Structure 1
Amino acid sequence: MKKISLLVLISLLIFSCNKDDEMVQQCIAPTNLTETNITYHSATIQWEDANEAQSFRILYGVSGFPMGSGNTFTVTGNTATINGLLPNTTYDYYVDSYCDANNISLFSTVKSFTTLSSPVSTEFQPTLSEMNLFAGTLNQLQPSAYAFEYQLHTPLFTDYAHKQRLIALPAGQTLEVNGDGFPNFPDNTVIAKTFYYNIDDRDESLGKTIVETRVLIKKSGIWQLGNYKWNTAQTEAYLDTDGGTVPLVWIDTDGNENSVNYNIPNSQDCIKCHNNTGIITPIGPKLRSLNFEVNGINQLQKLKDFNLLNGLSSPDDISILPNWEDTNNYTLAERARAYLDVNCAHCHSPGGFCSDQMPLDFRYETPFEDTNIDAFKYAISGYTSFYSPGVSMPLIGTTMVHQEGHDLIQAYVNSL
């Protein structure tokens, strides 16, 4: 009897051990989490699974969200695409495994990714913020990751306004070199120029007043024009065709207070300057006007390095439009011709708005004897010496005499 009892006890122990051996193993958390195909509104994530789990739960949210909260969804494979994300935003996420309903893993390690900026709109939107030309707070004028900021060696004068110039190309497209002038722009190119005044030019940290942002979009080979007028709160700019006048006060680098009734052009004014022989065209971004260093880097070389400009062997192959203020490297004639080119040639050249009224050709490349500058030198000097709407020059875009520019023209005229 004792032997039988002992055998029963041993059998029970063996049976119990077998039951222990069959206890369910704890579900292991996913490992090696990675992200691919990140866009401005989605991201695909993958992970490794040591369990052959039935399903996985993804938890995600804007970076820093509390563990256990956030958005969740479940998938059956070890890859998932998260949709509906905000652009230019950092997200955290983690994953756990469901081996079965009663066996769920711990959370994986937390991973992060940042979505891309929204692509620049190639259609005119009601507001400037919807154009996606800028990242962050709109009035900081921080260019989108898809926009290239550039400057002109000799800029056009607009009542002493400062300007920020941007160009955004469609993904995978480039500018194509076409001589020293305008490159060939692909369809869906967006060009933007924002006009603003610093409160005090001696200290830019004091802020600025932004007035307007002019936009050109190339659609099916044709440039379209639009203008965005900024509100007084400086929080948004709205698509506008009417133009208007904005009174402004600023302090210049000499500490003098200045005022201007800044004139925002209406849509017809824009067409007058940008129209040549019935074709709308940009005015500023010719390769010869970009061919100089900004912050120690040649702009054409930078465009090439960013794979935004094709057909350029070296910036040395492109001519340089002189800087009208650079008295050390350029002659009086070179500086004056450059000034007239940028400020006047879009109207005063063959096919321009004023080509019928006065047969002048202010393009820098035009040989002097073909410009008619000498024949009309006194008119050129006279019409730039005063301001009268509809009479003085430039006809559009200014409400005052550019004294420094007129002094240059006068000196040039006197030298002829």
Structure 2
Amino acid sequence: MVFKHQIIATLILFISVFQIACTEEPVEDTQAIPPVADLAEVPYRKLSEYHFFKGEISDLQAQEGVLPYDLNTPLFSDYAHKARFIYLPEGKQINYTALESLDFPVGTVLIKNFFYHNDERDPSKGKRIIETRLLIHQEDGWNAYPYLWNDGQTDADYWVGGFQTEVSWVDQNGEEQVINYQMPNKNDCKGCHVIDNILHPIGPKARNLNGNYPYADGSQNQLLKLKEMGWLNGMPALSEVDKAAKWDDTSELLEDRARAYLDVNCGHCHRPNAPANNSGLFLYHQETDDNNLGLCKVPVAAGSGSGGLKFDIVPGEPENSILPYRMNSTNIEVMMPELGRTVVHKEGVELIENWIRNMENRGCNAQ
């Protein structure tokens, strides 16, 4: 009899739970939640709390109010792919600037996701997202907030202390690659993003955005897209906007490709009023003086970083030039850039070596 009562009680409980489940309010559709970055509340603990992406967060599908973008020539980061997005608060506009990063209004969030395809030959085999870096323009200026993705790829946590993890993938040649990926800590961001002791974005300059992007509604020039959306103010005719070369597009001039590569990978530090300004080696886009660009220039500081070589660049002789020597090293006392990579970008080194090799040999030792 007791057993019979237990069965009846269990059935009643099951029916009650079922009825409650059927009458509960439906779960809120996260795709209907607009993106948010309350400047008084950021950084949020979880990346998902910003609602930048709809559906499965790891699909990185932008919500309305979040726009994907890319760079003609990006910064090298240990062969990681990057999915970039801009969140612009409703009613705000970006002001056009010709040389430096676009003038983004307070409230803007620049979103950069670092990931690796499991197989470069077939992206449909999935990817692993390692980290997401947010640059948020707050009332006191730009601030960097890094997020580390969990193993299940369901979310990312605000993570200030840096992180190391082994990453493997199959490259375009079918060979397995393995690296020890290093996520920088929050303070490392200041090592690259600072000009005049103020944090700035590096990549989204007009010249590096002056190219097409495959938007969901069709391919279009990114600057024209921003203008069409009412997001970009003060842009001149597109024909008047400089265009950075694609570093790996061999149909473009070698000089333009090399300068674009050096600008985005080195020029944010090697320029006046930036961390490497005391070197006298200026590799940013605006530099036109051959000596400042390193041609027949004796480095300010010698030592192991020079490899026993005398000049930053010896025209016609990459094997005798300090610049490619340092790019081709992973020794912490030698390598350049100092942050953001743990392996050599072989294709980037080859580009700079070819650039130097094709310069007219002017005999630096005779000067």
1:337 matches 2:254: no
Does the 8 Å CA contact 2:166/2:181 hold for their aligned counterparts? yes
Equivalent runs, 1:256-267 vs 2, <5 Å: 256-267=175-186
Counterpart for residue 170 of structure 2: 251
Counterpart for residue 350 of structure 1: 272
Question: CA separation of 1:243/1:315 partners in 2, compared to 1, >3 Å: closer, same or farther?
Answer: same
RMSD: 1.9
SS in 2 for 1:408: helix
The structural deviation recorded for 1:275 is 1.2
Aligned residues: 310
Select the residue among 152, 170, 183 that pairs with 1:233.
152
Deviant stretches of 4+, over 4 Å: 68-71
Counterpart for residue 327 of structure 1: 250
Q: Deviations over 1:41-66 (max 9, x none)?
A: xxxxxxxxxxxxxxxxxxxxxxxxxx
Select the residue among 13, 28, 45 that pairs with 1:86.
28
Q: Distance in 2 between matches of 1:191 and 1:256?
A: 33
Larger relative helix fraction:
2
Counterpart for residue 358 of structure 2: 415
Sequence identity percentage: 35
Select the residue among 68, 74, 78 that pairs with 1:149.
68
Q: Distance in 1 between matches of 2:145 and 2:172?
A: 32
The structural deviation recorded for 1:268 is 2.0
Question: CA separation of 1:370/1:124 partners in 2, compared to 1, >3 Å: closer, same or farther?
Answer: farther
SS in 2 for 1:321: coil
Counterpart for residue 186 of structure 1: 105
Question: CA separation of 1:338/1:194 partners in 2, compared to 1, >3 Å: closer, same or farther?
Answer: same
Counterpart for residue 133 of structure 1: 52
The structural deviation recorded for 1:227 is 0.3
Equivalent runs, 1:164-313 vs 2, <5 Å: 164-295=83-214, 296-313=219-236
Q: Distance in 2 between matches of 1:306 and 1:259?
A: 41
The structural deviation recorded for 1:184 is 1.4
Question: CA separation of 1:317/1:129 partners in 2, compared to 1, >3 Å: closer, same or farther?
Answer: same
Larger relative contact order (C-alpha < 8 A, sep ≥ 6)? 2
Does the 8 Å CA contact 1:139/1:235 hold for their aligned counterparts? yes
Structure 1: give runs of 5+ residues left out of the alignment.
Answer: 1-67, 72-83, 90-114
Q: Distance in 1 between matches of 2:102 and 2:185?
A: 27
The structural deviation recorded for 1:371 is 2.6
Q: Distance in 1 between matches of 2:118 and 2:27?
A: 37
SS in 2 for 1:160: coil
SS in 2 for 1:232: coil
1:371 matches 2:292: yes
Does the 8 Å CA contact 2:121/2:174 hold for their aligned counterparts? yes
Select the residue among 218, 228, 241 that pairs with 1:318.
241
Q: Distance in 2 between matches of 1:312 and 1:219?
A: 24
Q: Distance in 2 between matches of 1:334 and 1:178?
A: 21
The structural deviation recorded for 1:315 is 2.0
Q: Deviations over 1:373-412 (max 9, x none)?
A: 2121111111011211243011000011100000111111
Counterpart for residue 63 of structure 1: none
The letter of the residue matching 1:331 is L
The structural deviation recorded for 1:70 is 6.7
Larger relative strand fraction:
1
Q: Distance in 1 between matches of 2:37 and 2:229?
A: 17
Q: Distance in 2 between matches of 1:247 and 1:383?
A: 24
- Highest Rg: 1 or 2? 1
Question: CA separation of 1:281/1:370 partners in 2, compared to 1, >3 Å: closer, same or farther?
Answer: farther
Q: Distance in 2 between matches of 1:260 and 1:194?
A: 18
TM-score, normalization by structure 1? 0.71
The structural deviation recorded for 1:121 is 4.6
Q: Deviations over 1:355-379 (max 9, x none)?
A: 22x2111111211425332121111
Counterpart for residue 359 of structure 1: 280
The letter of the residue matching 1:203 is D
Counterpart for residue 42 of structure 1: none
The letter of the residue matching 2:340 is G
1:382 matches 2:325: yes
The letter of the residue matching 1:263 is Q
Does the 8 Å CA contact 1:195/1:211 hold for their aligned counterparts? yes
Q: Deviations over 1:124-151 (max 9, x none)?
A: 1011111222112111111121111000
The letter of the residue matching 2:227 is K
SS in 1 for 2:44: coil
TM-score, normalization by structure 2? 0.80
Question: CA separation of 1:142/1:369 partners in 2, compared to 1, >3 Å: closer, same or farther?
Answer: same
Q: Distance in 2 between matches of 1:153 and 1:362?
A: 17
Counterpart for residue 44 of structure 1: none
Q: Distance in 2 between matches of 1:372 and 1:301?
A: 32
Counterpart for residue 397 of structure 1: 340
